[in-house]
């Protein structure tokens, strides 16, 4: 095999070096990601420009690109915290978060790629301890879950306000109490429910009795007024009206055989 010309060797070496440099310079940023450029011979982390977007990029081989996921992410935490009376409560919570896109350079410079462990986890744990410590186990179990969820979110968001991280939501998925405390609370709630039902029945019965008394008083008053208004003259007029109507009926035979009390006729029908 013939030897390569001397001029070909440098060309081959140059092409090889160029390929290596291009390979080291090519950066592909995937979907839902962004890149932070670090200039080795410049100012270091680039913070005054938008981060590198999705797609293919060529950078100087002596520079470096740090890739971050910029989509919403979820942190799931199981935390043991103390209630207001010192009992240990387990809280299962999720936090939805994402880095602030335009501050990605600042995030990388101040916290780095493990910002989740550095600020988000400590923030949500601190907020959970602070919030749960204000409530009794009974409140946490029965009526305050939405309240502690909102308060943990507000306090965590306040801690992360200047950390270049955006907190979107905190969800309290479960509150676990010691079994003895849980059973005692459930018994108390059942007793309170039974007491409320009994009070409701008493109130209902009292209202029904009051209604019957009012109706009876109304009937008695009505009868009293009616009795006071019925004179002998009125009764006689009513009797005459009834006699006339009976006499006009085609289905009855009316016979007058004298008179009754107060001069009223005695009416005999066909039966």
CATH number for the domain that contains residue 85? 3.30.479.30
Question: Is 50 domain-assigned?
Answer: yes
Q: State whether 86 and 170 are in the same domain.
A: yes
User: Would you say residue 3 lies in a domain?
Assistant: no
Examine the fold and report which residue of 69, 93, 111 is the final residue of a domain before the chain moves on: 69
Domain-embedded: residue 196: yes
pLDDT 10s digits, 47-94:
988 999 999 888 888 889 999 999 999 999 998 888 888 888 888 999
- The answer to whether residues 79 and 154 belong to one domain is yes
Which SS3 state, helix, strand or coil, does residue 53 take?
A: coil
Angle at 139 between CA 93 and CA 157, to 5 degrees: 40
Asked if 162 and 169 count as a contact pair (C-beta separation under 8 A), the reply is no
pLDDT score at 209: 76
Cα dihedral across residues 31, 33, 34, 37: positive or negative: negative
Can you tell me the mean pLDDT for 138-155? Answer: 83
Q: Which residue has the higher pLDDT, 141 or 1?
A: 141
Cα–Cα distance for residue pair 45/66, rounded to 1 Å = 10
Residues 80, 102, single domain; the answer is yes
DSSP reduced 3-state for 35:
strand
Boundary residue ending a domain (133, 157, 177):
177
- Considering the domain architecture, whether residues 248 and 260 belong to the same structural domain is answered as yes
- Residue 255 has φ and ψ, to the nearest 5°, of -125, 130
Q: pLDDT tens digits for 228-245?
A: 665 666 656 666 666 666
Cα separation values, 8 from 14, 15, 70, Å: 10, 11, 48
Residue 196: CB atoms within 10 Å: 10
What range defines the domain where residue 15 resides? 8-69
The answer to whether 82 and 97 have CB atoms below 8 angstroms apart is: no
Is the model more confident about 36 or about 147?
36
Contact 65/52 with Cβ under 8 angstroms? Answer: yes
* pLDDT recorded at residue 131: 92
Worst-scoring range by mean pLDDT, 130-139, 171-180, 232-241, 253-262?
253-262
| Whether residue 80 sits in one domain with residue 62 | no
In contact, 169 and 96? CB cutoff 8 Å: yes
Q: How many domains does the chain have?
A: 4
Same domain, 96 and 145: yes
- Most confident range, picked from 14-18, 32-36, 207-211, 233-237: 32-36
* Residue 1 counted as domain residue: no
**Residues with Cβ < 8 Å from 202, sequence gap 6 or more?**
none
Task: Pick the more confident residue, 102 or 209.
Answer: 102
51: alpha, beta or left, given left = phi > 0 and alpha = psi -120 to 50? beta
Same domain, residue pair 141 and 191: no
């Amino acid at each position: 095999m013939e030897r390569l010309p001397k001029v070909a060797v440098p060309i081959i070496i140059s092409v090889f070096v160029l390929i290596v440099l291009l390979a080291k310079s090519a950066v592909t940023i995937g979907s839902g990601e962004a890149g932070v450029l670090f200039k080795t011979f410049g100012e270091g982390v680039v913070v005054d420009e938008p981060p590198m977007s999705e797609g293919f990029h060529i950078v100087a081989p002596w520079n470096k690109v740090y890739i971050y996921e910029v989509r919403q992410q979820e942190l799931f935490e199981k935390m043991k915290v103390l209630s207001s009376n010192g009992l240990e409560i387990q809280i299962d919570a999720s936090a939805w978060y994402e880095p602030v896109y335009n501050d990605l350079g600042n995030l990388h410079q101040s916290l780095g790629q493990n910002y989740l462990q550095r600020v988000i986890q400590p923030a949500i744990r601190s907020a959970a301890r602070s919030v749960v410590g204000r409530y009794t186990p009974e409140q946490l179990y029965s009526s305050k879950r939405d309240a502690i969820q909102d308060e943990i979110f507000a306090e965590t968001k306040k801690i992360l306000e200047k950390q270049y991280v955006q907190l979107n939501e905190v969800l309290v998925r479960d509150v676990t109490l010691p079994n003895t405390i849980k059973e005692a609370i459930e018994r108390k709630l059942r007793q309170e429910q039974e007491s409320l039902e009994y009070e409701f029945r008493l109130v209902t019965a009292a209202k029904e009795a009051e209604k019957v008394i009012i109706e009876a008083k109304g009937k008695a008053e009505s009868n009293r007024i009616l009795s006071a208004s019925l004179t002998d003259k009125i009764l006689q007029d009513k009797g005459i009206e009834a006699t006339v109507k009976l006499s006009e009926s085609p289905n009855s035979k009316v016979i007058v055989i004298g008179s009754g009390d107060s001069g009223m006729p005695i009416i005999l029908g066909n039966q």
